[in-house]
Amino acid sequence: MNLGAVRSIYLFEMARFFRTFRQSILSPVVSTSLYFVVFGAAIGSRINEVEGVGYGAFIVPGLIMLSVMTQATSNASFGIYFPKFTGSIYEILSAPVNFLEVTAGYVGAAATKALVIGVVILLTSFFFVDVSIAHPGAMLAFLVLTCLSFSLLGFIIGIWAGNFEQLNLIPMLIITPLVFLGGSFYSTSMLPPFWQTVTLFNPVHYLISGFRWSFFEQADVPVGISLVAIAGFTALCLVAIWWIFRTGWRIRQ
């Protein structure tokens, strides 16, 4: 693998992040604070506990997942779309690099940005609620895997998008609703049986459930199934990217 090429792409993308570092960090801090005010104070006053966990602490994993998924997708999609928009993508395609090296550079940078945002939100939550992490290693593993998998998805979206409006189409109309409906702010055990079954068809539900287990040792689905789901999703995205570079779909066309 051409590590020099991967490093160049990665550092170039990270430089853009550091140029707007304050805005990138301030936005999730403000958003998280508002969520705690609205959900923690207003709704939390009516729901004291969910499965033995204070409601304010219960929503922390969901808040982190919401931001991480949207940030990873948006950063990766913009990162690869902008070279397409300016035409500099052809310089990358003509360079002696393969699709794995290009993907590693762009996806690695997007995943790093999302990981930083996730950590910032976790640290912010400590100022509002008492959060305990039962399995720090598992928490970090789920967080990193989620950053990587949704950065891969964002990479695909950036290649597919034909204009800037389409970059936000899938994150806004698909990913965000799936996160809200995947048990990010509630336990699916609170739903009627029919809607519990419907939720099982939501892939995001498995990620949120596994991530919440790493905090409170409580999960709506077995942790093993959550790991299989995120591994399968990551593999599917890698196959799709391989096919895109092999055929030149939306890149050379």
Dump pLDDT digits (tens) for 218-234.
889 999 999 998 899 99
Among candidate residues 240, 213, 241, 242, the one with its CA nearest the CA of residue 226: 213
Looking at residue 90, its pLDDT comes to 82
- Rounded Cα distance, 196 and 178, in Å: 14
Q: Is the pLDDT of residue 253 over 60?
A: no
Angle at 145 between CA 161 and CA 124, to 5 degrees: 95
Q: Identify which has the larger pLDDT, 79 or 31.
A: 79
So what's the pLDDT on residue 233? 92
* Lookup: tokens for 183: 């048990």
Lowest mean pLDDT among 8-22, 54-68, 210-224: 8-22
In sign, the C-alpha dihedral spanning 145, 149, 154, 155 is positive
Rounded to whole angstroms, the Cα distance separating 164 from 85 reads: 9
β-partners of residue 53 are 50
Q: How many CB atoms lie within 10 A of CB 95?
A: 14
Q: At 33, is the pLDDT very low, low, confident or very high (cuts 50, 70, 90)?
A: confident
Element (H, E) at 7: helix 3-19
- Provide the pLDDT for residue 40: 64
Q: 210: closest CA among 138, 150, 147, 153?
A: 138
Task: Kindly report the average pLDDT of the chain as a whole number.
Answer: 88
Least confident of 24-28, 142-146, 160-164, 214-218: 24-28
pLDDT classification of 44: cutoffs 50, 70, 90: low
